[in-house]
Amino acid sequence: MAPVKVTKICCIGAGYVGGPTCAVIALKCPHITVTIVDLNKARVDAWNSPDFDLPIYEPGLVDVVKQARGRNLFFSTDVDKGIREADLIFVSVNTPTKKSGVGAGFAADLNYVELATRRIAAVATSSKIVVEKSTVPCRTAESMRTILEANSKPGTRFDILSNPEFLAEGTAIADLFKPDRVLIGSLQSQEGKDACQSLAEVYGNWVPEERVLTVGLWSSELSKLAANAMLAQRISSINALSAICEATGANIDEVAHAIGFDSRIGPKFLRASVGFGGSCFQKDILNLVYLSESLHLPQVAAYWRQVVEMNEYQKSRFSKTVVDTLFNTITGKHIAVLGFAFKADTGDTRESASISIIRDFLQERAYVTIYDPKVEEAQIWQDLSEAAPNLTLETIKKQVTIVHSALEACQQKEAVVIATEWKEFREIDWETVYQNMSKPAFVFDGRLLVDADKLRKIGFKVTTIGRGERL
């Protein structure tokens, strides 16, 4: 056998990974027809919208879709047609953390992966290369292969590959255009290596050969979890140091700058904040914890669990700082929270620090006004309802207001909390904000975003994460 020349790709799942990834593949490979399928009609309709009002916000994504959609990039709800016609199928469905049953709170829920795999087996009438694109636990490919082989039609074979994504939301398109690496895992049989070569040739249309890494299937699956765990560990480490800085009078910016000069450490992911969020870090670490416990490695599990616990501590510590600084009570006080997305340049709110902070403020019976430039109101209400299940939505809406500008959010407030590092928050007219706030006016910077000295000269009382006030 020789590697299959891929001319038609199907991606099952039109979310944060599948949509941008396959849109870029279509752009860079005009000779390959790329169809992204999803059962969610509203989502597919948004991808197909005439005015390019796409279902996810990602800088540069609209330009990519404009160039490729209708040429060789298509979005459809006809999953079966997409499967039947493709040479190569990306499985890019959601793998949330289980909420019940064995492994609840830690293990990945692979229900959507299994449903997609069974659908491929039921529909496919010719041989396919099936690629895990979702973040999955180790040896998920083995389960997929078992399902496919048990249900395949005569003369139909399936080769399984692992091709994890390493995208950072907010820079996903840039990451796809110039990836640090493309990782492809395969079985080390001749058939597995041929399938691997087929996918490598797709990426070879724009990715330099030395950046396409081919490894064993299980190493590929674990590498994704390991990469996110190591990145999250750096964030938790610098956040742990930020607490020491506040207690001693040190400055976390100066500490991070100093240690980042060490070539063995480097400067990336050493920016203290109110905590990490997003769809991957916490989920993948908890997955690693569950895997470690399943393999009877309790010390390893405890080590990685501490990364998540440190992140939760950082969020609750920040909330407590707000309460302590506002004279030990925020009951009945009005607080502006700037930013609801988990980071700038995305509309994604999964595991956002803002959710935890606002939940804490609601429990203290404060009034909160929220502004975020990209997050939809419906998403905010849904997230807060899930975060505070003991409160009805009606009760939450009595305490929370959503507005459409930062200046409006800050009017007549006792305090402003910066929870997301949107660039526009750095450029706010702070003089006007100060004039329209109750006095003393407090600013709590959870993202090291604003010039604290400049704000103090205006009259603000400023608390910045990781900066102690001792001399």
* 441: CB partners within 8 A, 6+ apart: 413, 414, 415, 416, 433, 434, 459, 460, 461
Q: What average pLDDT does the segment 161-169 reach?
A: 92
CA distances (Å), origin 11, targets 49, 83, 91, 268? 19, 9, 6, 32
- pLDDT tens-digit map of 261-296: 999 999 999 999 999 999 889 999 999 999 999 999
Is 106 a residue whose pLDDT tops 90?
no
Q: What is the pLDDT of residue 468?
A: 82
Q: What is the pLDDT of residue 95?
A: 84
Is 470 a residue whose pLDDT tops 70?
no
Q: What is the pLDDT of residue 204?
A: 97
How deeply is 202 buried, as exposed, middle or buried, from its count of CB atoms within 10 A (0-12, 13-18, 19+)?
A: buried
Q: What is the pLDDT of residue 109?
A: 83
Is 131 a residue whose pLDDT tops 50?
yes
Q: Which residues are annotated as a binding site for NAD(+)?
A: 13-18, 38, 43, 93-97, 134-135, 169, 280-283, 350
Is 209 a residue whose pLDDT tops 80?
yes
Q: What average pLDDT does the segment 175-200 reach?
A: 96
- pLDDT tens-digit map of 377-423: 999 999 999 999 999 999 999 999 999 999 999 999 999 999 999 99
Contacts of residues 64-71 at CB distance under 8 Å and 24 or more positions apart, as own/partner, are 64/20, 64/23, 64/24, 64/27, 64/173, 65/23, 67/27, 68/23, 68/26, 68/27, 68/30, 68/34, 71/26, 71/30
Is 139 a residue whose pLDDT tops 90?
no
Q: Which residues are annotated as a binding site?
A: 13-18, 38, 43, 93-97, 134-135, 169, 280-283, 350
* Amino acid code (one letter) for 58: E
Domain annotation for the chain: domains and CATH numbers: 8-207 (3.40.50.720), 281-464 (3.40.50.720)
Is 1 a residue whose pLDDT tops 70?
no
Q: 110: pLDDT confidence band, cut at 50, 70 and 90?
A: confident
Q: What is the pLDDT of residue 471?
A: 45
Which residues carry out catalysis?
280
- The DSSP line for 373-424 is SS--HHHHHHHHHHH-TTS-HHHHHHHEEE-SSHHHHHTT-SEEEE-S--HH
Backbone angles phi, psi at 275, to 5 degrees: 135, 155
Helix, strand, coil share (%) of the chain residues, nearest 5: 45, 15, 40
Is 72 a residue whose pLDDT tops 80?
yes
Is 30 a residue whose pLDDT tops 80?
yes
- pLDDT tens-digit map of 310-348: 999 999 999 999 999 999 999 999 999 999 999 999 999
Is 22 a residue whose pLDDT tops 60?
yes
Is 2 a residue whose pLDDT tops 90?
no
- Residue 456 near residue 235, CB atoms below 8 Å: no
Average model confidence (pLDDT) across the chain: 95
Instruction: Sort strands 442-445 and 88-91 into parallel, antiparallel or unpaired.
Output: unpaired
Q: What is the pLDDT of residue 102?
A: 87
